[in-house]
Chains A and B, each alone.
Chain A
Amino acid sequence: MRIAAGDERDPARGLAQLVLTVVELLRELMERQAIRRVDSGELSEQQVERLGQALEALEERMLQLCEEFGIDRDQLNVNLGPLGNLL
C-alpha cells in the first residue's frame, strides 16, 4: 500500500506533513469524541468548560504548527488508496 506523504520533492516537509496529518487525525478524533460526550449530557458544566478550553488550545496549537512548517491546513492529508483520504 502506497502512502502519498505530500511533498515528495522536499523530504523534510513531506515528513512534517505526514506527522502533522497524524496529529490532526488524533485531534479531530478527540474533538468528535468530546462533542459526542457533551451532546450526550453526561458531563458537568465545569467539565464541558475545561474540555472546550483544552480543545480550543489544541486547535490553536495545531494551526500554529502548520504556520511554522509553512503547511496549509487543507494540505494535511494522506491518501490510502481504496480507503480514500485519511482526513
Chain B
Amino acid sequence: MSLRGDGREVALVDLLDRVLTTGVVVAGDVTISLADIDLIRLDLRVLLASVASIDASGPAALELDDQEPAVVSSGEARHRMLGAPRAEPERRP
C-alpha cells in the first residue's frame, strides 16, 4: 500500500514511469532535456518505449485494441517524449 508524507515509499518503476516520460513539456531555450538523449541500453529503451507486457502465457492472449508493437525504435521513443501523450486515450465503453 501507500504511505503519505515522509514515510512515502514509492517503487522505482512507478517513479521512472513518471519522471522520465511525463511532466509538463516546456517550450523555449532548453539547454538539454531527456528528449535529446538517445539512451542506448536495451532495458532503458524498453522503459522509455513503455512496451505493453500483457502476459501471453496461454494460447489465448488478451487482445487490447490499441496495443502497440513490441519493438520500438529509439526515434519513436523520442517522439513520445516530446510531449505526445503517452497514456492511452480513454476507451469508450
Interface residues of B (CB under 8 A from A): 42-43, 45-46, 49, 51, 53, 55-57, 59, 70-72
Contact across chains for A82 and B45 when beta carbons are under 8 A apart: yes
- For the complex, give the distance between the alpha carbons of A41 and B53 in Å: 34
Known: A1-B42, A2-B42. A82 touches B71 (CB 8 A): yes
A26-39 vs B: 1/0 string, CB under 8 Å?
A: 00100110000000
A87 adjacent to chain B (CB < 8 Å): yes
Neighbouring A residues of B43 by C-beta, 8 Å: 81
Where chain B touches its partner, the secondary structure class is loop
- In the assembled complex, 29 residue pairs joining A and B whose CB atoms fall closer than 8 Å, in A order, are A1-B42, A2-B42, A28-B59, A31-B59, A32-B59, A74-B57, A77-B57, A81-B42, A81-B43, A81-B46, A82-B42, A82-B45, A82-B46, A82-B49, A82-B51, A82-B70, A82-B71, A82-B72, A83-B70, A83-B71, A84-B51, A84-B53, A84-B56, A84-B70, A85-B55, A85-B56, A85-B57, A87-B56, A87-B57
